[in-house]
Chains A and B, each alone.
Chain A
Amino acid sequence: EDKVVQSPLSLVVHEGDTVTLNCSYEVTNFRSLLWYKQEKKAPTFLFMLTSSGIEKKSGRLSSILDKKELFSILNITATQTGDSAVYLCAGAGANNLFFGTGTRLTVIP
């Protein structure tokens, strides 16, 4: 059965802290791993990872994929209150994106 598991479920940090969000996956005919940020409404795209070991960066956010261990991490450095959101990980298979339940990040000023 295809599944994506994220940890931790929730996280509370102070501004300036660095956080690491985890995502493990078991997806048939795996094609890619995607990260989304969801605030109050629709998820917004952050990264798509298809190859192991290649880090993707966007400002203070970065992510990497390990296809051998079926694992991905999302790092956020120097967190800001605007980073508070639910971060969703999804594994793309042949016909579907399988989403994890998300990690709720709260950044306290």
Chain B
Amino acid sequence: NAGVTQTPKFRVLKTGQSMTLLCAQDMNHEYMYWYRQDPGMGLRLIHYSVGEGTTAKGEVPDGYNVSRLKKQNFLLGLESAAPSQTSVYFCASSDHLSGNTIYFGEGSWLTVV
């Protein structure tokens, strides 16, 4: 009963390093999302995907790239990490673009020093 799985769960990066967060879902959902959550800011959409091979920018896309090569996976990349990217990252998936329930992963805690 996996649902949405994110890896890694915790990571500390140095400024300028790169890394990739992996999100996998086993519900055959078309739509996948990456959010970041910061204190006092709520959840903000970084990028999303409406299907395999497609991606689109959300509210706060700068500094991030994504790829959806397989339907079940959605990767979030940081090419050159900055302290401002210290945050909790949530992946989510749904079977509709919006207006329906979405399922969240457990979160990935990223600290950039």
* Residues of A participating in the B interface, judged by any CB pair closer than 8 Å: 4, 31-32, 34, 41-45, 48, 50, 88, 90, 92-97, 99-102
CB of B100 within 8 A of CB of A32, answer yes
CB of A31 within 8 A of CB of B44, answer no
Of all A-B residue pairs in the complex, the 6 with the closest CB atoms, nearest first, are A31-B99, A42-B104, A92-B98, A99-B43, A99-B42, A101-B42
Which chain B residue shows the least CB distance to A30? B99
Q: Which residues of B contact A50 (CB under 8 A)?
A: 99
Q: Does B102 contact A (CB under 8 A)?
A: yes
Size category of the binding interface on chain B: 20 to 34
Q: Which residues of A contact B102 (CB under 8 A)?
A: 45, 97
CB of A96 within 8 A of CB of B104, answer no
**8 Å CB contacts to A: which residues of B29-45?**
35, 40-45
Minimum C-beta distance from B2 to chain A (A): 13
CB of A95 within 8 A of CB of B97, answer yes
Cα–Cα distance between A88 and B65 once the two chains are bound (Å)? 27
Q: Which residues of A contact B98 (CB under 8 A)?
A: 31-32, 92-97
With A42-B90, A101-B42 given, is the CB distance from A92 to B99 under 8 Å? yes
Q: Does B59 contact A (CB under 8 A)?
A: yes
Minimum C-beta distance from B73 to chain A (A): 18
